[in-house]
Amino acid sequence: MKTFGCFSRKSFLLGFGSLSLLSGCSLLPSLHAPLPGNRAFIVYWPPATNSHQLKLAVKDNIDMKGVVTTAGSQRLARGTACPFGPSKAKPADKDAPCLAIARQRNVQIVGKANLSEFAVAPSGFNEYFGTPSSPLSISRDLLPGGSSCGSAVAVASGMADVAFGTDTAGSIRVPAAWCGVVGLKTTHGLVPIEGIFPIEPEHLDTVGPMGKDIAHTVQGMDLLQNGFASLYAAAVAAKPLAQEIRIGRLTLSGTDRPIDQAVDEALARTGFQVVQLDDSVRKEWEQAKQDGNVIAAAGAWISAKKFRFKVGIAARTKTAIRAGRIAYLTSYKEAVARQPQWQNTLKEIFKKVDFIALPTVQTPPPLIPPNLKIGILEARVLQLQNTVAVNFAGNPALAVPIPVRDEDVPVTSLQLIGPRLAEAQLLNAGRLVEAAVKK
């Protein structure tokens, strides 16, 4: 069984890196001028200069009444196939339910944020609309992380105070980490996902907020869950000091040493009670990461297989869809069967600690490469993120920027994982980290 699992994973990654050679019409030039400026938005509605309203960006796989939901795709944006013709795309008939509170409160929505096509590329690369650069370097164009790349860049650049993203395998936390902002992956099932272009809604898909700091992320969460501000206030009152919070530190192989050091320093400066989690947890985490990646990949096949031969779809997206077929046929059922065991493992850990801490990503953001229209980049980024195991469990997790001793990119990200429905408690812990690392 172990040998078969290893074979399946190798087959999946090999398929991811090579299937794009069969991408047909998507190998033609896109004939679309990339978005201007920082490419954070597919559609942008500049706010009034003197407006003091909260500015909200919405990832463009979330339906908004009267606006075309592109999901980052040329085909959906234009409503036609190549050869290219005039747009016939149909605007959404109604808002996704996750926008209901924002609408009730008259929040100023400033645009639909850019993303990887169909939200399947963890790098944040988008060859049709253009790839937003991470703002963590002014001299080099760095990958923003995906798929909620535009949401993260919009917040980091100040074009939005808060953004809504979606997270299937790390799509909020990875761009938050590589753009230096806060990102919250919510408990699976807490926020409605109807009206959102799906990847794997049954087991993984979630909606969550991103903000430039904890306070704004709390505001964003309060737009997704009625009464959240009160839950957060109660969490702060219950544990106002870091010394009352127990952290299980998970150390994983493959992480850059300065990033691990940055996480340990941030935890120590904050003053948490920190205990090391043992090797058995690390082994189970690695299995959960493999299973989560399989389910996410298979989800791309389940949700988007009708596009695998369509024109106007990027080569790397077709790669993800076809690799998902391999994952679905070889490993999907076995991975889903292991989900309850992993969920139970985390339940047992949370009887001993309040949260689990580890780096959100293993390295700083790499350079944006030339568009070689292949999936090797995406397969590599999948291995760099420490996020999908959380989606596999359905638990919430928070990515918080922390300083790192790196001359080129001075910020990395601490990930805190909590029990189900512990969003308020996570943000309280994030508040304490944020205050400590700023001293």
For the chain, list the domains and their CATH numbers: 2-438 (3.90.1300.10)
The β-bridge partners of 249 are 276, 357
Residue 138 is predicted with a pLDDT of: 84
> pLDDT band for position 145 (50/70/90)?
very high
Residue 376 is predicted with a pLDDT of: 80
Out of 171, 303, 331, 413, pick the active-site residue. 171
- Residues of the chain with pLDDT > 90, as a percent, come to 82
Residue 399 is predicted with a pLDDT of: 99
Residue, of 406 and 244, whose pLDDT is higher: 244
- Kindly tell me if the per-residue pLDDT of 358 is higher than 70: yes
Structure tokens at 195: 């009206």
Residue 87 is predicted with a pLDDT of: 58
- Kindly tell me if the per-residue pLDDT of 2 is higher than 60: no
Question: What does the pLDDT average to over 151-164?
Answer: 98
Structure tokens at 70: 């592109």
pLDDT digits (tens, 9 = 90+) for 30-70: 445 678 789 999 999 999 877 889 999 999 999 999 999 99
> Angle CA(349)–CA(350)–CA(354) in degrees, nearest 5?
125
Rounded to whole angstroms, the Cα distance separating 183 from 110 reads: 19
Residue 88 is predicted with a pLDDT of: 74
Question: What does the pLDDT average to over 278-297?
Answer: 97
Of the given ranges (27-36, 169-178, 351-360, 362-371), which has the lowest mean pLDDT?
A: 27-36
> pLDDT band for position 374 (50/70/90)?
low
Task: Supply the pTM of this predicted model.
Answer: 0.92
Instruction: Identify which of 379, 384, 386, 383 has the alpha carbon closest to the alpha carbon of residue 363.
Output: 384
- Kindly tell me if the per-residue pLDDT of 85 is higher than 90: no
Question: What does the pLDDT average to over 386-401?
Answer: 98
Q: Please report the DSSP string for 207-255 in residue order.
A: EEEEESSHHHHHHHHHTTSTTHHHHHHHHHHH--SGGG-EEEE---TT-
Question: What does the pLDDT average to over 246-272?
Answer: 97
Task: Tell me if 90 sits within 8 A of 75, measured CB to CB.
Answer: no
Rounded to whole angstroms, the Cα distance separating 186 from 182 reads: 13
Out of 26, 116, 133, 147, pick the active-site residue. 147
- Kindly tell me if the per-residue pLDDT of 1 is higher than 50: no
- Kindly tell me if the per-residue pLDDT of 16 is higher than 80: no
Q: How far apart are the first and last CA of the chain?
A: 51
Query: Which amino acid appears at position 360 of this protein?
Result: T
Residue 25 is predicted with a pLDDT of: 35
- Residues of the chain with pLDDT > 70, as a percent, come to 90
Residue 29 is predicted with a pLDDT of: 39
The β-bridge partners of 111 are 44, 57
Rounded to whole angstroms, the Cα distance separating 380 from 258 reads: 20
Tell me if residue 2 is catalytic.
no
- Kindly tell me if the per-residue pLDDT of 344 is higher than 80: yes
Sheet containing strand 411-417, edge to edge, reads: 41-44, 108-113, 55-59, 162-167, 206-211, 182-185, 397-403, 411-417, 355-359, 246-249, 273-276
Question: What does the pLDDT average to over 196-203?
Answer: 98
- Kindly tell me if the per-residue pLDDT of 20 is higher than 90: no
Which run of H or E residues covers position 276?
A: strand 273-276
Residue 12 is predicted with a pLDDT of: 45
- Kindly tell me if the per-residue pLDDT of 421 is higher than 50: yes
> pLDDT band for position 408 (50/70/90)?
confident
Question: What does the pLDDT average to over 264-285?
Answer: 97
Structure tokens at 44: 């942008």
- Kindly tell me if the per-residue pLDDT of 328 is higher than 90: yes
Instruction: Identify which of 374, 378, 396, 376 has the alpha carbon closest to the alpha carbon of residue 387.
Output: 396
Instruction: Identify which of 275, 269, 279, 326 has the alpha carbon closest to the alpha carbon of residue 301.
Output: 326
Report phi then psi at 233, rounded to 5.
-60, -40
Q: Tell me how far the alpha carbon of residue 216 is from its chain's centroid.
A: 18
Residue 375 is predicted with a pLDDT of: 66
Tell me if residue 151 is catalytic.
no
Query: Which amino acid appears at position 297 of this protein?
Result: A
Q: Write the CB contacts of 333 (distance below 8 Å, at least 6 apart in sequence).
A: none
Residue 384 is predicted with a pLDDT of: 95
Q: Tell me how far the alpha carbon of residue 285 is from its chain's centroid.
A: 18
Q: Write the CB contacts of 347 (distance below 8 Å, at least 6 apart in sequence).
A: 419
Residue 107 is predicted with a pLDDT of: 96
Out of 20, 23, 26, 59, pick the active-site residue. 59
Q: Mean of the per-residue pLDDT values for the chain?
A: 91
Tell me if residue 331 is catalytic.
no
| C-beta atoms surrounding 255 within 10 Å | 19
> pLDDT band for position 251 (50/70/90)?
very high
Question: What does the pLDDT average to over 261-285?
Answer: 97
